[in-house]
Amino acid sequence: MNNKPRCKRCGKPLSDPVSIAAGLGPQCRGAAQKSSSRRVRQTERHARGSGGATAAGSDLSVGMITPLWRVYDIPDGDIETVLTLHRERYGKPQMILLAQDVSKEIYMRAKQLAVIVIKNRKVLPGQVWVV
């Protein structure tokens, strides 16, 4: 019996840690991220409008088919402040995508604060994607 994780959308085998955690392959995840980025903006707008309090913490359940990525700017490389803000709003970060050109120091500090940290060319310099 083959226990290799498979994409929940198309059924292809998954090998990349981000794909495995998301339950979707890169192509299927790309299609899902377009719709989820709209939800992120709506959630962030809702959080601002309610004084920062939101029930969106339940959005990060491990059983979700599509993780809800939240995109932050990293001010002056201060990854700890960004992840503290995320933890206060949504709970402990499970996965982080950093820009390919991020310094090794920021990468190592982020690695201490999340389960999976990956450098990704699709993340713009100075940004971090957190789920």
Q: What are phi and psi of 126, to 5 degrees?
A: 85, 5
Stretch 71-93: mean pLDDT, rounded? 90
24 or 51, higher pLDDT: 24
| pLDDT level of residue 36 (50, 70, 90 thresholds) | low
47 or 115, higher pLDDT: 115
Question: Quick check: 44 and 73 in contact, CB under 8 A?
Answer: no
Helix (H, G, I), strand (E, B) or coil at 74: coil
| pTM for the whole structure | 0.50
Length of the chain: 131
Strand runs (DSSP E) across 14-90, as ranges? 70-73
